[in-house]
Structure 1
Amino acid sequence: MENQTKEMNQAENTSAAQGLDACKAAVMPTYGRFDVIFEKGQGAMLWDTKGETYLDFVSGVAVNALGHGNPELAAVISEQAAKLMHISNLYWNEPQLKLAKNLIDLSEGALQDVFFCNSGTEALEGAIKLARKYGKKRDAVKVAHLSHSFHGRTMGALSVTGQPKYQAPFMPLIPEVYEFPANDIEALKNLDSSYCGFLVEPIQGEGGVNPISNEYLEALRAKCDALDIVLIFDEVQTGIGRLGTFYAHQSTSIKPDVVCLAKGLGCGFPIGAFIASKKVSVLTAGEHGSTFGGNPLATAVALKGVEIISSPDFLAQVKEKSQKIIQKLQALTDGHTIKSIKGKGLLIGIELGVDVKSFNTLAFDHKLLLIPAGENVIRVLPPLNVTDEEINLFFSKLEVILEALKEDKIAK
C-alpha cells in the first residue's frame, strides 16, 4: 500500500511537472536556466517538483540571507499582508519609518537619508541621479566606475558596468561615463572637478569576487573629498551582513557618501534602497520616485531581517562560518583544479583551473547549487545562517565533484 501511494504521488508530480514544462515557452528567454523547477525550501535546502533535494549555496544570488522558509519572516509576511500591503508614497507607513530609522542608526553616523525602491538596479539609478544633481552646482556631470564592475541592467546602471559583454547590444548608453582600472591608485590622478560621482563595489561579485583594496579606497576617498565628488558604494551584494559587518563599508576604513542596498535587505522579498549623507542628499519632491518603493509589506519583512542580521552575535557567527569555510577550501587548493580562494565573509570565490561552466554543471548534477563569477571563478553564497550540517554537506559534495574531475582527467 505504501509503495502504491508513493508511485501515485510520483505520477502526480510527473504530470504536474509536464504541465509546467508546457508553460516554459511563455517566458521570455533572457536567462540561461538549469532544467529544474523548485517548489519548496528550508534553510539551505531546496526540493524540486520531482522530489529531488539540492543544497543551495547560491541563496537567490545573495538574496535569501536567512535561507528558505524562515518562520519569522513568514509570520511577518502573513501578519502584514492581512493588515496593509500597499498605500503609495503619498502617505507615511509605520514599517517604512522604522526600517529607515534602523538603517540610519546602523550606519553609525555615516548616512542620514533613505530612499526605498524595489531592486539593486533601481538603487543605482537613483544614486546616479543624485550624483548628477549634486554636481550641477559646479557643472560636473561625469560619472566614474571601475573595470570589471557590475551595477545592473537598466540603461543607467548598465552604463556604469565595466563589462562590455553586457553593454554591447544596447549601445549607445548614457554619455559622460568613464572607466577607471580597479585598484590602480596612480590612475586616480585622472579624476578632476568635472566628475560628479564615483561608483565602487567593495568586492566585485559578478566581476569575479575581486576585492578592492583598503589602500585604494582610502586614496579614492581622499580624492573625492578634494574634488567634491560623490563616492557611491554599491553594497547590493556585499551589504546586509554578507561580509560579517552589517554594511560592507564597515569592513573598510572609509565612509561613502551614498550606499546602495537590495538583495539581502529583503531576505527574499523584493526591496532596494539608497542611503545618502546629508551633505549630498539633494533630491527634492518630484525629482525621484517609485510606485512600490517602501511599501508596508516589503519594509515590514526587511525590518525583521535587519533586526536579526544586525545583531552582534549573528554577525560574529557569519565571521566564524566564513573562517571555517575558507580554511577548508584553502586546504583543497591544489594550484590546478582549485587555484586560489578569495572574498570575505560569506561571499567566497573559488578560482578554478578548469572550465567554470563545466564545473558548475557538474556541481548541479551532484545537487549542489553554485554560481559563476567572471571568467574562471565560482561563487559560494550560502545563507548567512547556514548550519554546520549544511557546511559539512557542502564539503562532502565538493570532494565528490573534485574526485570526479580528477577521474575524468585520468580517463582522458
Structure 2
Amino acid sequence: MAFADYPVHTLMTITTRPDLVFVEGQGSWMTDQNGKRYLDFLQGWAVNCLGHSAPVMIDALNAQARKIINPSPAFYNEPMVKLAELLTQNSCFDKVFFANSGAEANEGAIKLARKWGRKNKSGAYQIITFDHSFHGRTLATMSASGKAGWDTIFAPQVPGFPKAILNDIASVEALITDETVAVMLEPVQGEGGVIPATREFMQQLRALTKAKNILLIVDEVQTGCGRCGSLFAYQLSGIQPDIMTLGKGIGGGVPLAALLSTEAVACFEPGDQGGTYNGNPLMTAVGHAVMSTLLEPEFLPGVLARGEHLRTRMLALCSEFGLEGERGEGLLRALQLGRDIGPQLVEAARELNPQGLLLNSPRPALLRFMPALNISFEEIDEMTEMLRGLLKKHA
C-alpha cells in the first residue's frame, strides 16, 4: 500500500511526521509500508524496553485477553494486585495507584502531595520543580514542567510550581516557604537533553526535604524500569523518596503507568482518584510480565554493560569528529554535537538506504539514545557505524 493511499489527512496535526507508515516491528527494528527496515534507537521514546513485539508481552496479552479485560477499577483484579506487590517488594514504597500514562501518574502525584499538604502542613500546596524539566502534557503537568515556551502556550498556567536549577541545592532552598509541600524532579532530565541529577545533589535534596518536612517526588516515567541500569534511578543515589511515578517502560509499549508512595503519604480517600481503565487486568498483566523480565538476575547487569558499550562508542565518535561529549545513565544517553545539526542528522539517518536509522534530537546540538534495554552489542555497533557515516557528511 503506497503512502498516498493512507488517509492521513483524517488525523489532527500534533507533530510533523515523515511520509511513511510503520506496519511491523521486531526487537530493535521496524518496517514501513514499502518494506524498508529501520534500526530503532527511539523505541517509542524509551517505551519499548524489551523491543518491539516482545514474545513475553504477546504471551501475557493473549493469555489475559482470554480471561478478563476490564472488570472496572471499582473491583480488585488478579494482575493488578500481583503487579502492585512486585513493585512494592522491589522499591521503598508501600502503595500503588495504576494509571494509563506518565502525565496521568504525575498529575496524581501532584494531587497526592497537595492532599498530604492539606492534611499535614496547613494547606501547603506549592511543588518546587526545575528548569528544563518535563512532566507531561496535561495543564498541571505542563505547568510543573520547565520547558521553554510552555508558560504561555495554554495560559494561564496552573499556579504553584516555582522553578529551581538542577544540581544547585541553594536554588531549591531559596524557594522553600510555608506554602511548599514537595520537590519534584526527574533523576535524569530526558526531554531537557539527558541531564543527570548528580548523586550528591539527590542526597542533598533528600536531606533538605526531610529537614523541612516536605515531600520528595521522583518522576521516573523515563528513567525507571531499568532504563538507567538499576530498577529505578533513585536507587543509584542511595536515597528513599516519598513518591515515585512510572510510565513508558513499565508497560513495555502498552498504556500503563503507576503512582507509588510510602504508607505515610498515601492519604487519598474514596473519590479522590480514579479512572475508567486504571489498573485494568490486560495492561497490568503485561506490566507484570515486563517487570518480571527486568528482575531476572542477568537483565540489569546487561543494561549496564550495554550502556557502557554505547558510551564508549559515542566517546570514540567524539574523539574522531571533535564533538563536545556524551552523558547519561545506563541506556538513556546523549551525544553532545557542539553544533545545531541534530535535526539534520535525524532526517538524514531516517533516509539512509537500504536501511534507515531512527534517532531523536530533543535539543538542536544533541542526539538522544533510548534503545531497547535488550538491544544487542552488534546493533549498537551497527548504529555507531551508520552515525559515523552521517557525521562525515555533516560534522
Give the superposition deviation at 1:375: 4.1
SS at match of 2:309: helix
- Match status 1:114 vs 2:100: no
- The residue aligned with 1:363 is 349
4+ long deviations beyond 4 Å = none
With over 3 angstroms needed to count, the CA separation of the structure-2 counterparts of 1:375 and 1:183, relative to structure 1, is farther
Q: Which residue of 1 aligns with 2:126?
A: 142
Counterpart mapping for 1:56-95 below 5 A:
56-95=40-79
Q: Is the 8 A contact 2:114 2:123 kept in 1?
A: no
Could you tell me which residue of structure 1 aligns to residue 105 of structure 2?
123
Shift of 1:250: 1.0
Which AA in structure 2 matches 1:390?
E
- Tell me the secondary structure at the aligned position of residue 15 of structure 2: coil
Match of 1:409 in 2: none
- 1-structure distance, mates of 2:345, 2:323: 11
- Superposed CA RMSD: 1.3
Give the 3-state SS of the residue equivalent to 2:268 in structure 1: coil
Distance 2:109 2:165 in 1: 21
1:383 to 361, 372, 376: 372
Q: Counterpart of 1:39?
A: 23
How many residue pairs match? The answer is 388
Map of 1:2-401 to 2, 5 A cutoff? Answer: 13-14=1-2, 17-20=3-6, 23-107=7-91, 110-136=92-118, 137=120, 138-190=122-174, 191-334=176-319, 338-354=323-339, 355-366=341-352, 367-401=356-390
2:230 aligned counterpart, secondary structure = coil
Query: What SS does structure 2 have at the residue aligned with 1:124?
Result: helix
Give the drift of 1:374. 3.0
**Per-residue displacement from partner, 1:27-79 (whole Å, max 9, x unpaired)?**
11011222211000111011100010100000110000000121121111111
Question: Can you list the C-alpha shifts for 1:226-279, whole angstroms capped at 9, x where unaligned?
Answer: 122111000000000000111111111211111100100000010011100111
d(CA) in 1 for partners of 2:201, 2:249 = 26
- Asked if 2 retains the 8 angstrom alpha-carbon contact of 1:240 and 1:309, the reply is yes
Quick one: distance in 2 between partners of 1:375 and 1:222? 36
8 Å CA contact 1:336, 1:352 repeated in 2: no
One-letter code of the match for 1:277?
T
1:403 aligned to 2:388?
no
| Shift, 1:344, TM fit | 0.8
Overall identity of the aligned pairs, in %: 36
Give the distance between the partners of 1:94 and 1:178, measured in 2 at CA.
Answer: 41
* Aligned-partner SS, 1:40: strand
Q: Which has the higher helix share?
A: 1
What's the CA shift for 1:169?
1.2
Determine if contact 1:372/1:379 at 8 Å carries over to the other structure: yes
Report the alpha carbon displacement of residue 337 of structure 1 after superposing the two structures with TM.
5.9
Q: Which amino acid aligns with 1:46?
A: M
Distance 2:346 2:98 in 1: 35
Note the C-alpha offset of 1:167: 3.3
SS of equivalent residue, structure 2 residue 80: helix
SS in 1 for 2:324: strand
Which letter maps to 2:125? V
In structure 1, the residue corresponding to 2:5 is in which secondary structure? helix
Q: Give the TM-score normalised by structure 2.
A: 0.96
- Give 1:174 deviation, angstroms: 0.9
What is the CA–CA distance in structure 2 between the aligned matches of 1:336 and 1:146, rounded to whole Å? 33
Q: CA deviation at 1:280?
A: 1.0
Based on CA coordinates, which of the two structures has the bigger radius of gyration?
1
SS in 1 for 2:152: helix
Question: Is the partner of 2:286 in helix, strand or coil?
Answer: helix
CA contact (8 A) 1:203 1:343 kept: yes
Q: Which runs of 5+ in 2 are unaligned?
A: none
CA offset digits 1:68-107 (Å, max 9, x no partner): 1211211111111121111111111000000000000010
Counterpart residue identity of residue 381, structure 1: M
Aligned-partner residue type, residue 102 of structure 2: G
* Local SS of the residue matching 1:114: strand
Greater CA deviation, 146-155 or 212-221? 212-221
Paired with 1:324 and 1:27, the residues of 2 have a C-alpha distance of 40
1:142/1:197 contact within 8 Å kept: yes
SS in structure 1 opposite 2:298?
Answer: helix
2-structure distance, mates of 1:89, 1:358:
46
Within 2, Cα distance between the matches of 1:271 and 1:155?
20
1:170 is paired with a residue of what secondary structure?
coil
**By how many angstroms is 1:165 displaced?**
2.0
Q: Note if contact 1:346-1:380 (Cα within 8 Å) is conserved in structure 2.
A: yes
Deviation digits for residues 264-320 of structure 1, max 9, x if unmatched?
000001001110011111111111111101000000000000000122310000001
Q: Which amino acid aligns with 2:36?
A: E
Unaligned runs of 5+ in 1: 1-12, 407-412
2:149 is paired with a residue of what secondary structure?
A: helix
